[in-house]
Amino acid sequence: MNELIQQIVDGLGRGGIYALIALGIAVIFGVMHLVNFAHGELITVSAYSAYGLFQAGWNWWFIVPAVILIAGMTSVVIEFLAFRWVRGAPDFTMLMTSFGIHFVVQALFVMYVSANFRQFPRPDWIFNTVKIAGISFEVFDIAVIFFTLLTLIGTFWILQKTMFGISLRAAAEDFDAARLMGVRSDRIIRGAFALSGVLAGVAAVFWLMRSGQAGPTAGLTPMLKGVLAALIGGLGSLGGAVLGGVALGLVEVMLISRLPEGLVGLTDGIVFLLIAFLFVFRPQGFISVRRAERV
């Protein structure tokens, strides 16, 4: 029983990170109908920023806000440089564009930093454990869950209560109708990218605290997990993205703790297979988003 609770907390910690990434992907999908495969690059950029700032002698307390800020700005810059040219293009073009960005950014890091992974120190408290009601938890998991919740609450507050958030949701549902109400498309898309970038930044901070390294492909796995989580949840559904992320994290932890020693390395493979099965039975994900096509 205790073990199960530990695992759930562990799973929520993992899932929280996925949820943040998935939410960022869902926000962009909503306004642009684009699955942003370049979303992982924000994490790569964050990783290198963290590494660079460490080199410059900063400590984690300053690095965290800086990384989040940088991720948000990078996201907006990427939109400005690349995505705005393919707004409204066929889905194939947009998918391929986001992949192109992924490759270019990755190559830039190889070219100007290094093809190898760079290590930086992880904050020492992340390995500490605390005992609550006789069960020991990793402080890190609890911190992740707490800050993820905080970020999610903040994000949903923005989406529910601010004019920007309401306009963004309106634009996600019917872009033209939103423009007819006076919503500025440039601003809303840029805002969506900024929001998505900040979410990726927060996720990156946790991801990096755990991995403690920066490399050109650092964003690949989190991106894939985030896309899958968004897809499991139902593309375009913000709540679904969070749900999908948490579910993915829980399943992973459950698998890791139950698989025999020799197969732990195949966890990701098994998770992908499970997801493939899920798609066969429910291709639209947990929450289906209505998008009427007039015939």
Partner 1 sequence: MLEVESLTTRYGSISALRDVGLSVGSGEVVCLIGPNGAGKTTLLSTISGLLNPVSGSVKFENEEITSWAPDRILRSGLALVPEHRRIFGDLTVDENLLVGGVTISSGRRLELKEEIITLFPVLGEKLSTEAGYLSGGEAQQLAIGRALMSEPKILLMDEPALGLAPVLAEVVFELINQLRQNGQTLLVVEQNARRILEVADRGYVMRSGSIVISGDSNELISRDDLFETYIGKTDTTHE
Partner 2 sequence: MSKEYFHSRLFTLVGPILIFAVLVCGGLLYASFGGSARDGLITQMLINAIIVLGIQIYVGNTGVLSFGHIGFGAIAGYAFAICAISPTRKNSQIPDAPFGLSGIDLTPFQSVLVSILLTVIVAFIIGLGLARSGARSGSVAATVITLALLFVVHEVAKNWIDLTRGGKTGLSFSPLGNATLQGRGWIYIALLFAIITARLFKETRLGRLAQAAREDDLAARAVGIDPAVQQMISLLLSVTLVSIGASLRVFELGSINPRLFFFKFTLLTLTMLIVGGRNSVTGAVVGVVIITAGSEFTRYLAGPSVDVAALDWILRSGLTDIFLGASMLGFMIFKPAGLLGDWELDKWLKKFLPEKTNAEAVKDRVENNQERSHQSLNVEGVVVDFGGFRALDRAEIRAGTDEVVGLIGPNGAGKTTLLNVITGVVDCSEGYLKINGKSIEGLQPHMIARAGLVRTFQNLRLFHLLSVRENIEVARLASPDANNRLETVAIEELLHITGLDELRNRRAGELDYGNARRLELARAAAANPVFLLLDEPTSGMSDHESEAMIHQVRSVASLIGAGVVVIDHDLNFITGICDRVYVLDQGRLISTGSPEEISLDEKVRAAYLGSS
- The residues of the shown chain that bind partner 2, judged by CB under 8 A, are 35, 82, 85-86, 89-97, 99-104, 106-108, 110-112, 115, 217, 220, 224, 227-228, 231, 235, 265-266, 268-269, 272-273, 275-276, 279-280, 283, 293-295
Shortest Å distance, C-beta 279 to partner 2: 5
Q: Is 173 in the site for partner 1 (CB under 8 A)?
A: yes
- 148 within 8 A of 20, measured Cβ to Cβ: yes
Beta bridge partners of 74: none
Shortest Å distance, C-beta 181 to partner 1: 5
The binding track of 185-224 with respect to partner 1, each residue x by CB under 8 A or -, is x---------------------------------------
Q: Is 183 in the site for partner 1 (CB under 8 A)?
A: yes
Choose, by CB under 8 A, the member of 33, 84, 87, 179 that binds partner 1. 179
Stretch that binds partner 1, among 78-86, 89-97, 171-179, 217-225 (CB under 8 A): 171-179
CA pair distance 77, 64, nearest whole angstrom: 20
Q: Which of partner 2, partner 1, none sits in contact with 131, Cβ below 5 to 8 A by type?
A: none
The binding track of 150-169 with respect to partner 1, each residue x by CB under 8 A or -, is -------------x--xx-x
The 8-class DSSP code of residue 85 comes to G
Q: Which is nearer to partner 2, 45 or 183 (CB)?
A: 45
Buried b (16+ CB within 10 A) or exposed e, 156-184: eebbeeeebbebbbbbbeebeebeeeebe
Q: Which is nearer to partner 1, 122 or 179 (CB)?
A: 179
Strands (E), the chain: 118-119, 129-132, 135-138, 213-214
* Residue 108 CA, distance from chain mean position: 22
Q: Is 108 in the site for partner 1 (CB under 8 A)?
A: no
Q: Which is nearer to partner 1, 138 or 173 (CB)?
A: 173
* DSSP labels, 105-167: HHHHHHHHT-SS-EE-PPPGGGG-EEEETTEEEEHHHHHHHHHHHHHHHHHHHHHHHSHHHHH
The 8-class DSSP code of residue 89 comes to -
Q: Which of partner 2, partner 1, none sits in contact with 174, Cβ below 5 to 8 A by type?
A: partner 1
CA pair distance 245, 202, nearest whole angstrom: 15
- Whole-Å CA distances, 291 to 11, 58, 174, 237: 32, 47, 9, 11
Query: For binding to partner 1 (CB under 8 A), which residues are involved?
Result: 163, 166-167, 169-170, 173-174, 176-185, 290
